[in-house]
Amino acid sequence: MLITTGGSEALMLACLSILDPYTEVIIPEPYYPNYTTFVHMAGGGIRALPTNAEEGFRYAVRERIESLITKNTRAIMITNPGNPTGVVLTQEEMRMIADVAKEHNLYLISDEVYREFCYGDGDGVPTMGRFRDIDENLIIIDSVSKQFSACGARVGCVITKNKELQHALLKFCQSRLAVATIDQIGATALYTVDADYYRKCREEYRKRRDLVVEQLQKIPGVMVQKPMGAFYIMAGLPVDDADKFQKWLLEEFDDNGDTVMFAPGAPFYETPGKGINEVRIAYVLEEEKLVRAMELLEIGIRTYRKDIMKVQEI
Amino acid sequence: MLITTGGSEALMLACLSILDPYTEVIIPEPYYPNYTTFVHMAGGGIRALPTNAEEGFRYAVRERIESLITKNTRAIMITNPGNPTGVVLTQEEMRMIADVAKEHNLYLISDEVYREFCYGDGDGVPTMGRFRDIDENLIIIDSVSKQFSACGARVGCVITKNKELQHALLKFCQSRLAVATIDQIGATALYTVDADYYRKCREEYRKRRDLVVEQLQKIPGVMVQKPMGAFYIMAGLPVDDADKFQKWLLEEFDDNGDTVMFAPGAPFYETPGKGINEVRIAYVLEEEKLVRAMELLEIGIRTYRKDIMKVQEI
């Protein structure tokens, strides 16, 4: 376990340690857009594993993953629970992905920074680390940012049992000397919280998720499924272009001085043209603010469709 | 000016922004060994500009620099004042290097983290930033680590007026999100010190330098010149191998329970076989500790030559 400047540096060092020019990483799309920079930084490319909203963005299908493996494939990279989709893999799906990595001699980069945010019953905290037969393949990414709402501390880590990889990662870590000292001391204290802290967080976020999903389902034309983890919802909106709609919301729309902001969906996709009408909603605000945000989204969509798209009500 | 996680990240992002596989960077050797990782990380290679102890490690000779420029050369990288040599460029030398970069259309990475540690009279604080005709070529690296003895804060910056480069650097910065928040706030306060702080630091370090050089010159067989900046001295010792001597000092030698540590010289060189009997001494301790350290070095050399090298006194 090597401490890094946030999960970001952990991802960057993992990519630099395992990728060479022209190698590829298989990543289910939509995915966290900064993965692109980390992979490209190391000279690699992304082979997107397509998913779709109708299937709830689920990607763990052996045939689909294996169809993307070539002689240049170096790794499979997943975020579990998923950003932006909130998808949580089942134990069977995790085992299958571990098997694929092992059978094809690939690294498996498992970004588990949302690990504590799972809303299913009794599944426990999901980690690829439990499959000890893939110790040589596995790289786990973790961070204090989400678990402790401490993203400004920039403390994360990269974890692997692979000795050769430890050696490469350590070289990169030594070359940039250290992670900020005060923040490491602070982060150490964060890990002294008891299980109750995680339980309360999970309950609070589950309530927020239920509230946002319920509100979204009331808006005509919005396509949404209830995600089982992280604190994001990827929703399809009845607009022509979510990016254009977002700019309009920020620059031209207001309701009693308020407006609403989300992350337009297209940058989460590698495949051009996908996610144009999708948005990632982060339910990280208090409940009353989320209620108002959803109200603003509803008014915004209605007004935008009438005034800008010039279409009839659905 | 983009804030980075120490000067290290500033160097890394500069390399990633300007280098491609098979491109080269000209660096005077001996140089800070971590430069190797940052250049290699971006797929580039180092073309060492050789210097030697007899000439006081001075490297600013136009013909020598130009003889190393090829079609693959992308940048010249200097540390001024130098680590490990303490070399401070004259205004004329700085101007010449700026001219070479401009004429050959190269980037000039000027690592100025030791800028405030100059012991000459009246030259002021040296920065390549004063040559405004090389705005498109120049990348300045800075940090709070040395100026404020705050290396654990990990706050530095990369500075350029080149718009295209700013755009590339910003992309990398955005992808890793931010520098630790508390440390940035603290660093801001550091910059409120007045000129007297820098003057006192300079005087303190000048005294330490004079003391160490004077003590070193008393040890038979030690080759040393008085460096004009930073807080390092690169000295040649009358031993067969400085790395072996260091290990012996740590593992087998003691004088009343004390021993002494330095940085063996070879890793500061790209050229194999150079610097074997050289060491980098950092005069960052209080005076009485430095006196004792030099005493230990003298006893250590004498004992090592007699017991291990089996040679007569010089």
Token pair for residue A36? 């692109």
For residues A211 and A218, give the distance between their C-alpha atoms in angstroms, rounded to a whole number: 11
* Mean per-residue pLDDT of chain B: 96
For residues A287 and A268, give the distance between their C-alpha atoms in angstroms, rounded to a whole number: 26
- Across A232-253, b (16+ Cβ under 10 Å) vs e yields bbbbbbbbebbbebbebbeeeb
Residues in contact with A292: Cβ distance below 8 Å, sequence separation at least 6, in sequence order = A258
Please give, one letter per residue, the 3-state secondary structure of B42-97: CCCEEEEECCCHHHCCCCCCHHHHHCCCCCCEEEEEEECCCCCCCCCCCHHHHHHH
Shortest CA gap A278–chain B (Å): 22
Please state the rounded mean pLDDT for residues B204-216: 97
Say how far residue A45 (Cα) sits from the centre of its chain. Answer: 19
Confidence band for B314, pLDDT divided at 50, 70 and 90: low
Token pair for residue B268? 């500061």
Nearest to A183 among B6, B38, B180 (CB): B180
CA distances from B139 to B40, B78, B83, B165 (A): 18, 11, 18, 9
Tell me what pLDDT residue A312 has.
Answer: 73
Phi and psi for A272 in degrees, rounded to 5? Answer: -60, 140
Contacts of B171 in chain A (CB under 8 A): 37
Please compute, for residue A157, the number of CA atoms within 13 A of its CA located in the half-sphere on the CB side: 10
Residue A125 CB coordination number (10 Å): 12
Contact, B234 vs B212, CB < 8 A? no
Taking only the tens place, the pLDDT of each residue in B81-101 is 999 999 999 999 999 999 999
Taking only the tens place, the pLDDT of each residue in B286-300 is 999 999 999 999 999
E strands, A153-291, in order: 156-159, 232-236, 263-264, 278-282
Report CB contact under 8 Å: A176, B8. Answer: yes
Tell me what pLDDT residue A297 has.
Answer: 98
C-alpha Rg value of chain A to the nearest Å:
20
Contacts of B152 in chain A (CB under 8 A): 178, 180-182
For residues B110 and B131, give the distance between their C-alpha atoms in angstroms, rounded to a whole number: 12
Token pair for residue B73? 């050369």
Shortest CA gap A247–chain B (Å): 20
- DSSP, residue by residue, A67-86: TT--TTEEEEEEESS-TTT-
Interface size A-B, in CB pairs within 8 Å, comes to: 91
Report CB contact under 8 Å: B6, A172. Answer: no
Q: Is the pLDDT of residue B231 over 70?
A: yes
Token pair for residue B19? 């280098």
ipTM over 0.85: yes
Shortest CA gap A245–chain B (Å): 23
C-alpha Rg value of chain B to the nearest Å:
20
Contacts of B16 in chain A (CB under 8 A): 41
Give every strand in the sheet of A45-49, ordered side by side.
A2-4, A156-159, A138-143, A107-111, A73-79, A24-28, A45-49
Report CB contact under 8 Å: A37, B172. Answer: yes
E strands, B160-307, in order: 232-236, 263-264, 278-282
| Segment holding B25, helix H or strand E | strand B24-28
For residues B6 and B156, give the distance between their C-alpha atoms in angstroms, rounded to a whole number: 4
Report CB contact under 8 Å: A21, B43. Answer: yes
Contact, B156 vs B116, CB < 8 A? no
Q: Is the pLDDT of residue B37 over 80?
A: yes
* A206 strand-pairing partners: none
Report CB contact under 8 Å: B21, A16. Answer: no
Shortest CA gap B33–chain A (Å): 8
Disruptive mutation site among A175, A182, A184, A190 for chain B (greatest number of B CBs within 10 Å): A175
Shortest CA gap B197–chain A (Å): 24
DSSP for residue A12: H
Q: Is the pLDDT of residue B214 over 80?
A: yes
Q: Please give chain A's pLDDT, 314 residues, in tens.
A: 999 999 999 999 999 999 999 999 999 999 999 999 999 999 999 999 999 998 999 999 999 999 999 999 999 999 999 999 999 999 999 999 999 999 999 999 999 999 999 998 766 789 999 999 999 999 999 999 999 999 999 999 999 999 999 999 999 999 999 999 999 999 999 999 999 999 999 999 999 999 999 999 999 999 999 999 999 999 999 999 999 999 999 999 999 999 999 999 999 999 999 999 999 999 999 999 999 999 999 999 999 999 999 997 66
Please state the rounded mean pLDDT for residues B228-241: 97
